[in-house]
Structure 1
Amino acid sequence: MTAHPHPTATAPRAGVPALLCLRNVAVTHLEADRPTPADVSFEVHPGEVVLLLGPSGSGKSTLALTLNGLLPHAVPGEVTGTVAVDGADAATTPVAELAQTVAMVFQDPDAQLITGSVLDEVCFGPENLRLPVPEVLARAEAALRRVGLWERRDDSPDVLSGGGRQRLAIACALAMASPLLVLDEPTASLDPAGVAEVYAALREVVAEGDRAIVLIEHDLDAAVELVDRVVALDGDGRVVADGTVDEVLRDRAAELHDLGVWLPTATLAALRLRRAGYALPRLPLTPEELRASLEGLPPVPASLPRPILERPVGESIVAVRGLTVTRGRTTVLQDVDLDVRAGEFVAVVGPNGAGKTTLVQAISGVRTPPRGTVRVDGHDVRRLPPRQLSRHVGFVFQNPEHQFVTTTVFDEIAHGLRRRRLPEAEVRARVDEMLDRFGLADRADTHPFLLSGGQKRRLSVGTALVGGARLLVLDEPTYGQDRARADEMMAMLDDLRAEGTTIVVVTHDPQLVAEHADRVIVMDAGRLAADGSADAVFADAALRDRTGLRVPPLRRAFAGLHRHPELASLRRLRDLPGGRS
């Protein structure tokens, strides 16, 4: 492919050598029988923002670890080929030396936070470069202001929300002022305002043209305006595309779709509409582009789905009364009253630090409420031992590794069943079903911590589902998943809901909410700010302004379409004509 700069990015300067050069790189993990990724070659020049795409398990995060030498110096595995960072061979250069050139943000921010305060955390890296104290403090302040954490500089990282810790990890990387910034899913736990702040900061990083970014990201609706080049891997970890955003995301969208990777929502919608006879001349990347393209087309007769019927719900399965939780000097939840009825699919949304995770942890019995009551299936969660609680509610953590307790994937899924002393034959049958359902049958004997990020997420959901609880609570269920696996998981949750399971999810993905939730709970500053249908919540402009909610991409594209009123009321990809996306 012939490269040309994306309009939003700074073009590499002519004659400037590559900042990063990979040649035939392959990584084979311990216990693995083949390399993933395999035979990867590409270059990154100063001024570029390169998006690394690929299905779950293709080796994106593994490849990122080779860029700063953690693989093979700290993480066991065999690396072949060459990784050159600013001319230095990553395989032979000490990690401490490479850290001056490469700043890394891991998929799990907790893996890199080590100090007792937000300010100390950001100062730690520059201090190790032996910079003068005034420069260290200036860098730390600038980085924390960029991600909106300066006012919390004296807090412990432990009291930040998951999104807050992710912002902190990004601030640490920014403060290093390294020529190359490597970011692995940096916005996965961020609210829309946080995403905007982080991407604004990253634009500043590359604006002068002497620094570069390698980005692994699934939220392409936000990232597409930052990125100027895309390198796509297939399921075996081999490069199948390397070019500009237009050349890869527009021209090869159908191919990437078949690989199961994420695409912008507008692009997914356009692929379906093309199949239904809408002669879109160019695949759009944004809702605005999709809307403009549709307004330029004549009306098209289309067979549209029947209106969504309201699903029946039953009695209250969750009753929360007067729930108040404090953490340090901060009140995380304040006097929350809430009911969830059997058979509902409820999405909990709101800005970082609003109390979403704390609320669902209290509902699941993971966090004991200091004040107030939580009853599930009529039982006070504070009085149920874990073995009995798991029969009523299954919980999936925001970070999968926080719930792993055994040394193999099989034993992890079997753990709760064995604690209930079920017959081993029944345990094996249930575990095998979960392994097949989540594509983990070939990983049954693998240590959970050696799985890819997406595989860890699927395992964590499998451990929650295997017990057969009537209530399933998931904190960011699609975190770390490729599009195909995320679609499978959400379809599975829809099926479970149809069978009578009550589903509660925490998410920052507005399109996921529009696709699946029939009720939305909006949290803000520890209080319940709104409770209603997805349509009602996203239509409330004052609520969106107050809580930072983002309108789902399809709603932005279709609302008020003049030439295609048949699409104006559609909110879900699955309801578009043209078959499955």
Structure 2
Amino acid sequence: MTWRPFGRREPVLRDIDLTLTPGERVLLVGPSGSGKSTLLRALTGLLGSAEAGELTGGVTLDGAAPGARPGAVGLVLQEPGAGVVAATVGRDVAFGLENVGAPPASMPPVVARSLAAVGLGDLDLETPTSALSGGQTQRLALAGTLALDPAVVLLDEPTAMLDPGCAAEVRAAVAAVAAQGGRTLVVVEHVLAPWVDLVERLVVLSGDGRVVADGPVGEVLHARREELLDMGIWVPGAPAPTPLEVDPALCRPEPAALAGDAPPLRAVPFAVERTTRLLDGSARTARAAELAEPLTAERGSLTTLVGPSGSGKSTLLAALAGFLDTAPQAAVTVQGPGGPDAPGRLRPAQLAAALAWVPQWASSTIVADRVLDEVCATSRALGRDDPATTERARGLLEALGLGPLAEADPRELSGGEQRRLAVAAALLHGPPALLADEPTVGQDRHTWAAVVGLVAAYRRGGGAVVAATHDASVVERADAVHRVEAPPRPARPPAGRTPLAARCGPLALLAAAVLGIPAGVLSPHWHTTLAVLASQAVLAGVALAAPGEGPAPRGRARTVGLRLVPGVLAALSVGWSTWWLAGHDVDAALTVALRVLAIVVPSAVLVPWLDPDRLGDHLAQRLRLPDRPVVATAAALQRVSSFGAVWSEIARARRVRGIGVSSAHPASVLAHVSALTMGLLVRTLRAAADLAVAMDARGFATAQRRTWWAPAPWRRADTALVVLATVPLVVAVVAR
């Protein structure tokens, strides 16, 4: 098999010829960018269907296509957050079970057992997937694969983001699954030592995507030890490589940024609170992370944040960068243009000049379409676009092993390559402080030495580094180590009152919202439309009422008001246009404007309570619509709800790169919004492709008979809602 993705001149995989027998445990290794993740996707049969490119040869499983039997192959992606398919933890793990037709009554114990196997057994099944940390999301993806009980288990760096304790739990769970029923296991990892006792065969890919070694793990490690070390493989027992010597001139902080004696970054103890809003209108506020002792990043220093997965290290880094409104601004100071200042108060160019940020998932900060442009983006935003800067950018790419990829699309790089690119892009413009989240994850020995060597050169030039990491070799090099403890998990608050609308099913909510359309269209005059709106206002009050015992949900009216803003603007716009085009006819303008409001008010009141997952359940189970389009639509609607978070993430990445809104000038604001919109579009399309891969890897593409995690009852409240929703329509029809 040979595979060349579109957009790449050379194949990623070349002449791959492998036979895996049932029950084998295989460790797949190779230098960064050698095609390991691509080979795993090939084993699922996704190349050429979910991913575009030129494929020669193919893959069979028991003589048939890999997807012929739903759930036979389970894949955990390298970036598992891209594979979240549901809004809650329980439903996400159960997704594969639904695809293989498991009886609904059998799902809860399987889901609970799978979550416990990866160390997430204490999570409530209704926990929103959006509230999980990166490490927790990675374990959730593994739980979803284990729940399927597949014949072939494919794991792409399953423990890369986990602390040693969680990683050991995951390996134990994998070993237990692989030992049952002759299941075949293929694991991609850079660090071999923890896995050699769990596997029996080692397959090695070269940097150009060829199989260069294949055999019993012990024999290959012994006979090819020096060759493997030369390739950059983390051979067990070999000491960490010597960091690469890098010229500090490539990444030295700007002299002006180091003026004075103050440290580049300082923080006093603080805590970050996170509020999670649930569909029933309630909100849970809990401590997401805490900096327990003062942190001072001196010039030339390395400060590490260590702690268990999910303890809040990434959250603390985001707070240090000034990204979080929930963190007290006065707790963190950096060296701004006028002296010490809170990073959240700095303008984009000022923030970029004060610090740089390497995120946990490096793909989230990509702002350019070419690797070289990506490295230079911040320097150009700061007005430092000159030939010397471009040459330094090329020097950084060469040092990090990315020189041949200077003209490539950064979104097409491997995970390890994207991480190195993020480091280069963060350091080229010479900020005095660098915040890095797991900067060495996914690196082979050579690229690890390059990253560590580059950071060391930056420190020699006077830069201060704060890094969240599980890498013991990085921690050994630190001047200060801050232990981050996982905040105590708050007890689940007692159930409070929920609005009447939240007690209705999604089909009833959807039908009631749709009934606003004919009510507005059929209203003959603005006098009648006022009566329609009055009846809708009364019904809205009923829908938002929350009778019963316990605390009442907050913010109901505010939520509706915010959702009405676009509708009000549309009504004003349409009304003004009608007034202008109809000879300044006020009656006509009022009639049209109020009709728009009558159409949108029911949706503003009811849509916030519409759960996409439950909607999919009801469309398939009650209306008997085809499973595949229903599930795909529900998954897409679920992603729509995350657009706000993606928008904020893109805005954050642009701001810390110095290319956010720099003034209140309309042209600047328009350019910024346009860039965010295009970034959201690109991210959405790529996320859709990743989601399709994740869903198909859990049996969605070949599901013949689907079952459902949750029932879809039609209750009396649903009937009452639909009947009441016809009242405004009756008012409009009677008046007509």
Interval of TM-score (by shorter of Structure 1 and Structure 2) = 0.7 to 0.9
The alpha-carbon deviation at position 165 of structure 1 amounts to: 0.5
Provide the secondary structure at the position in 2 that maps to 1:40. coil
1:399 maps to a residue whose letter is W
Contact preservation (8 Å) 1:46, 1:209:
no
| 1:47-94 Cα distance to aligned partner (Å, 9 max, x none) | 22100011112111111111112211111111212311122134xxxx
| C-alpha distance in 2 between matches for 1:102 and 1:229 | 19
Paired residues for 1:364-443 under 5 Å: 364-371=321-328, 372-377=330-335, 378-443=340-405
Tell me which residue corresponds to 1:325. 272
Tell me which residue corresponds to 1:172. 144
| C-alpha distance in 2 between matches for 1:427 and 1:366 | 28
Q: 1:449 to 1:423 in 2, by over 3 A?
A: closer
1:477 maps to a residue whose letter is P
Contact preservation (8 Å) 1:332, 1:358:
yes
Provide the secondary structure at the position in 1 that maps to 2:172. helix
1:72 maps to a residue whose letter is G
The yes-or-no answer on 1:316 pairing with 2:263 is yes
| 1:301-329 Cα distance to aligned partner (Å, 9 max, x none) | xxxxxxxxxxxxx7533221242211233
The alpha-carbon deviation at position 399 of structure 1 amounts to: 0.6
Contact preservation (8 Å) 2:322, 2:342:
no
Tell me which residue corresponds to 1:262. 234
Identical pairs, percent: 38
Provide the secondary structure at the position in 1 that maps to 2:56. strand
Q: What 5-or-longer segments of structure 1 have no aligned partner?
A: 1-24, 273-313, 528-581
1:330 maps to a residue whose letter is A
1:244 maps to a residue whose letter is P
1:125 maps to a residue whose letter is G
| 1:193-219 Cα distance to aligned partner (Å, 9 max, x none) | 111111111111121342111000123
TM-score in terms of structure 2 length: 0.59
| 1:169-224 Cα distance to aligned partner (Å, 9 max, x none) | 10011011110010001101011111111111111112134211100012323222
| C-alpha distance in 2 between matches for 1:268 and 1:40 | 31
The alpha-carbon deviation at position 435 of structure 1 amounts to: 2.6
Tell me which residue corresponds to 1:517. 478
Pairing partner for 2:223 from 242, 251, 266 = 251
The yes-or-no answer on 1:193 pairing with 2:201 is no
Contact preservation (8 Å) 2:70, 2:99:
no
The alpha-carbon deviation at position 99 of structure 1 amounts to: 4.6
| C-alpha distance in 2 between matches for 1:367 and 1:433 | 34
Contact preservation (8 Å) 2:291, 2:316:
no
Pairing partner for 2:57 from 75, 81, 84 = 81
Contact preservation (8 Å) 1:52, 1:232:
yes
| C-alpha distance in 2 between matches for 1:383 and 1:526 | 27
| C-alpha distance in 2 between matches for 1:370 and 1:398 | 19
Tell me which residue corresponds to 2:462. 500
| 1:20-64 Cα distance to aligned partner (Å, 9 max, x none) | xxxxx2111113232222111222222221000111121111111
Tell me which residue corresponds to 1:356. 313
Q: Which runs of 4+ in 1 moved over 4 A?
A: none
The alpha-carbon deviation at position 440 of structure 1 amounts to: 2.2
Contact preservation (8 Å) 2:289, 2:316:
yes
Q: 1:335 to 1:100 in 2, by over 3 A?
A: closer
Contact preservation (8 Å) 1:123, 1:136:
yes
| C-alpha distance in 2 between matches for 1:260 and 1:36 | 18
Pairing partner for 1:345 from 282, 286, 302 = 302
Provide the secondary structure at the position in 2 that maps to 1:100. coil
Contact preservation (8 Å) 2:153, 2:186:
yes
Provide the secondary structure at the position in 2 that maps to 1:72. coil
Tell me which residue corresponds to 1:288. none
Paired residues for 1:213-224 under 5 Å: 213-224=185-196
The yes-or-no answer on 1:102 pairing with 2:78 is no
Q: 1:154 to 1:250 in 2, by over 3 A?
A: farther
2:304 maps to a residue whose letter is A
RMSD: 2.0
Tell me which residue corresponds to 2:176. 204
Contact preservation (8 Å) 2:135, 2:310:
yes
Q: 1:185 to 1:38 in 2, by over 3 A?
A: same
Contact preservation (8 Å) 2:268, 2:332:
yes
Structure number with greater Rg is: 2
Paired residues for 1:292-303 under 5 Å: none
Give the number of equivalent residue pairs. Answer: 454
| C-alpha distance in 1 between matches for 2:107 and 2:487 | 34
Contact preservation (8 Å) 2:30, 2:190:
no
The yes-or-no answer on 1:473 pairing with 2:420 is no
Provide the secondary structure at the position in 2 that maps to 1:41. coil
Bigger drift between 424-433 and 129-138 goes to 424-433
Q: 1:490 to 1:373 in 2, by over 3 A?
A: same
Tell me which residue corresponds to 2:702. none
| C-alpha distance in 2 between matches for 1:150 and 1:379 | 42
The alpha-carbon deviation at position 423 of structure 1 amounts to: 3.7
Answer 1 or 2: which has greater strand percent.
1
Tell me which residue corresponds to 2:212. 240
Provide the secondary structure at the position in 2 that maps to 1:391. helix
| C-alpha distance in 2 between matches for 1:220 and 1:181 | 18
Q: What 5-or-longer segments of structure 2 have no aligned partner?
A: 243-260, 276-284, 489-736
Contact preservation (8 Å) 1:408, 1:448:
yes
| C-alpha distance in 2 between matches for 1:478 and 1:466 | 18
1:414 maps to a residue whose letter is C
Answer 1 or 2: which has greater helix percent.
2
Tell me which residue corresponds to 2:496. none
Q: 1:104 to 1:335 in 2, by over 3 A?
A: closer
Tell me which residue corresponds to 2:105. 134
| C-alpha distance in 1 between matches for 2:221 and 2:432 | 40
